């Protein structure tokens, strides 16, 4: 299968190549000359370092496992789900994805 894919790609000709960009296009030059790659200062200010962030939330992350047994006519069926969640309140409410 891998050989067939490689052969198809190699024989596909110019369609597989990216388009050539004309470097003389004035619009492209203006965009690149006016682009600022510096990060705005408000993005980097007042952010927790990653270690502090992990320390603050690690006690709120929980692992969840669910087993549901359904009675069938002849056999029982077991559905399983697992995932993670986050405790959002002091009385134990947990937010998780729907599939859990």
pLDDT tens for each residue of 68-84? 888 888 988 888 888 88
Q: What is the dihedral of CA 12, 13, 19, 22, to 10 degrees?
A: 180
pLDDT greater at residue 74 or residue 9 = 74
Higher-pLDDT residue of 41, 89: 89
Domain count, the chain: 1
Question: What band does 5 get if pLDDT is binned at 50, 70 and 90?
Answer: low
pLDDT digits (tens, 9 = 90+) for 15-54: 555 555 555 555 555 555 555 556 565 555 556 677 777 7
Terminal Cα distance for the chain, rounded = 36
Q: Which domain holds residue 55?
A: 2-96
For 76, half-sphere exposure in the C-beta direction (CA atoms, 13 angstrom radius) is 5
The strands making up 76-87's β-sheet, listed across from edge to edge, are 61-71, 76-87, 94-96
């Amino acid at each position: 299968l891998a050989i067939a894919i490689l052969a198809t790609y190699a024989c596909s000709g110019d369609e597989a190549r990216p388009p050539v960009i004309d470097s003389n296009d004035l619009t492209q030059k203006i965009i690149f000359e006016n682009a600022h790659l510096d990060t705005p200062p408000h993005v980097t200010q007042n952010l927790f370092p990653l270690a502090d962030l992990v320390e603050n939330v690690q006690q709120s992350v929980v692992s969840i496992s669910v087993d549901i047994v359904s009675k069938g006519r002849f056999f029982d069926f077991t559905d399983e789900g697992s995932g993670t969640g986050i405790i959002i309140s002091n009385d134990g409410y947990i937010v998780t994805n729907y599939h859990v």
